[in-house]
């Protein structure tokens, strides 16, 4: 031992440690993609968004008004509009959220200077001017080229009010509501594909039991009619988080009357749901990083159990599952109105988003829509604005990278990889989904959850002759990295270097704490 030490050698424990490190380096993760076994289509709507009258999502975030010095198209911010169009945004949900069940749509039509004001009781007790209403929202959807998803008021609204709203928007004939629409400047009706019968009616939407809501759903849904060739997908309120009894009761009582069931699922890095235990968006350590990765992965099991309940009553899978609110939820940024839910967005949020989207892709037989909360300036936002300034968040970049999956066919994957462990807990270090695009390419999205170690990877694609492979990666020097108005490009996609194709297989190394997307062509 003394001689070994003198020569700079190492003892037995050191030798075992070195062997372990060399073994880890010598055994890269193994990924097999079954390109010869395509499954269901990944609905583009899985990459949907959510905009609520909450904080600065609508006002300042999307709507600035025609007279604003900020460049706009009919009052809608041009910079935000162009950024969202670059995502191929497929569907936008509005006006809530909790706001939906206190929103009365007739207050948001007609000349803006005559629209009555209201108090936004859920979000900061601020005055809602109703400057952004039905016409403005549907104009936004047309500018984006996306489908409209409107959440109707069951909590404080009437059946007649909901029926009138659908008629106002979609009827092309001669009626009081259609003529009122024309008087307000829209001759032809809109196409409105998605309509939610209430929102979170177990909580802010009325504190109802699932039995009571089931009866209300069937009553209200009866009067959500298809006018003038418009075909509405009727969406029932599902649970928030884990409440399998709500899912069971509503599916049992309403599955013949609904087209989709909504599910809400938020995650955080503390593992708790107390009002003051969300944690900071930017000030966190590896314990909270690991907790968020673990909590994000758990949505897979939640969806599996929800699907089992839905399969019991709908074995043909006619009824879709819409995860129409999801994302990370942190404490509001210091110095901002806590009721506005304005939070920063780091690389940690990007990894969580990548995990969620991979899971939604893999469950695309039932999950046919998902709407991240929210689009601008609220919760896990795509975009942050401040006056005339705008910044894209790390989560935005994940959506931009993953848009290649929209409309592709899900491909089965088999992944063997190292675990990422922290405090005697472990999760798989890598998380993946794959699809075959309409262009014939194979697309693979891979998250490396380990913030400390890169991951060598060997990839084989069955039933597909690999010609070449390229990739993009989103990572940064620290877990807490984020984009600010002063430094907007701290976290942004870059080419993924070092991809090699040899003997029909791909080898590469995934950086620590990264989201990568590969494109494989013949």
Q: Per residue in 47-79, is it b (16+ CB within 10 Å) or e — as a string? A: bbbbbbbbbbbbbbbbbbbeeeebebeebbbee
Question: Which residue bears the tokens 């009781």?
Answer: 121
Give the CA count within 13 Å in the CB-facing half-sphere of 215.
Answer: 4
Q: By the 8 A CB rule, do 363 and 317 touch?
A: no
Give me the helices (H) in 95-243, please.
134-144, 159-170, 176-183, 210-222
Which three-class secondary structure state does DSSP give residue 166? helix
Q: Per residue in 140-172, is it b (16+ CB within 10 Å) or e — as a string? A: bbebbebbbbbbbbbbebeeebbbbbbbbbbbe
Spatial distance between the Cα atoms of 385 and 368, rounded to a whole number of angstroms: 30
Dihedral angle of Cα 31, 362, 477, 400, to the nearest 10 degrees: 120
Query: How far from chain centre, in Å, is Cα 72?
Result: 26
Angle (deg, nearest 10), helices 244-254 and 299-313? 30
Query: How far from chain centre, in Å, is Cα 239?
Result: 17
Peptide bond before residue 97 is cis, with ω within 30 degrees of 0: yes
371 beta partners: 48
Spatial distance between the Cα atoms of 36 and 51, rounded to a whole number of angstroms: 39
Give me the helices (H) in 8-132, please.
12-26, 78-85
State the catalytic residues.
200, 325
Spatial distance between the Cα atoms of 207 and 219, rounded to a whole number of angstroms: 18
Spatial distance between the Cα atoms of 512 and 420, rounded to a whole number of angstroms: 11
Spatial distance between the Cα atoms of 141 and 57, rounded to a whole number of angstroms: 15
Which three-class secondary structure state does DSSP give residue 134? helix
Spatial distance between the Cα atoms of 232 and 165, rounded to a whole number of angstroms: 13
């Amino acid at each position: 031992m003394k001689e070994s030490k003198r020569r700079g050698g190492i003892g037995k424990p050191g030798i075992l440690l070195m062997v372990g490190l060399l073994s880890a380096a010598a055994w890269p993760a193994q990924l097999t993609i079954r390109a010869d076994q395509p499954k269901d289509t990944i609905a583009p709507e899985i990459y949907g968004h959510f905009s609520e009258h909450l904080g600065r999502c609508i006002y300042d975030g999307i709507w600035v008004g025609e007279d604003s010095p900020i460049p706009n198209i009919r009052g809608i911010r041009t910079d935000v509009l162009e950024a969202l169009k670059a995502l191929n945004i497929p569907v936008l949900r509005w006006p809530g959220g909790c706001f939906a069940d206190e929103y009365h749509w007739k207050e948001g039509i007609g000349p803006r200077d005559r629209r009555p004001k209201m108090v936004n009781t859920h979000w900061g007790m601020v005055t809602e001017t109703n400057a952004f209403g039905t016409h403005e929202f549907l104009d936004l959807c047309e500018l984006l080229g996306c489908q409209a998803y409107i959440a109707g008021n069951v909590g404080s609204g009437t059946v007649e009010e909901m029926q009138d709203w659908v008629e106002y928007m979609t009827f092309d004939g001669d009626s009081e509501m259609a003529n009122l629409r024309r008087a307000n400047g829209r001759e032809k009706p809109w196409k409105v594909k998605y309509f939610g019968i209430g929102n979170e009616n177990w909580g802010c939407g009325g504190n109802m039991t699932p039995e009571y809501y089931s009866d209300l759903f069937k009553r209200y849904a009866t009067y959500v009619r298809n006018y003038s060739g418009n075909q509405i997908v009727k969406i029932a309120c599902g649970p928030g988080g884990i409440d399998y009894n709500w899912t069971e009761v509503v599916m049992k009582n309403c599955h013949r009357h609904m087209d989709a069931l909504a599910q809400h699922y938020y995650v955080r890095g503390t593992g708790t749901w107390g009002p003051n235990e969300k944690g900071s968006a930017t000030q966190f350590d590896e314990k909270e990083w690991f907790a968020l990765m673990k909590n994000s992965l758990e949505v897979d099991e939640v969806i599996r159990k929800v699907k089992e309940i839905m399969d019991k009553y709908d074995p043909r899978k006619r009824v879709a599952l819409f995860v129409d609110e999801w994302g990370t939820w942190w404490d509001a940024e210091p110095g901002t109105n806590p009721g506005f839910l304005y939070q920063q967005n780091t690389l940690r949020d990007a990894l969580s988003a990548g995990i969620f989207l991979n899971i939604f892709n893999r469950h695309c037989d039932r999950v046919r829509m998902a709407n991240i909360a929210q689009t601008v300036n609220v919760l896990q936002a795509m975009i942050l604005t401040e006056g005339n300034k705008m910044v894209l968040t790390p989560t935005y970049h994940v959506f931009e990278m993953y848009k290649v999956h929209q409309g592709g066919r899900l491909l089965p994957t088999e992944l063997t990889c190292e675990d990422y462990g922290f405090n005697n807990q472990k999760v798989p270090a890598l998380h993946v989904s794959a699809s075959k695009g309409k262009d014939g390419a194979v697309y693979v999205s891979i998250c490396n959850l380990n913030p400390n170690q890169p991951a060598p990877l060997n990839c084989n694609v069955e039933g597909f002759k690999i010609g070449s492979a390229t990739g993009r990666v989103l990572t940064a020097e620290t877990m807490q990295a984020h984009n600010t108005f002063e430094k907007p490009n701290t976290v942004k996609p870059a080419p993924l270097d070092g991809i090699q194709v040899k003997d029909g297989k791909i080898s590469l190394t995934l950086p620590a704490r990264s989201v990568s997307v590969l494109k494989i062509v013949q």
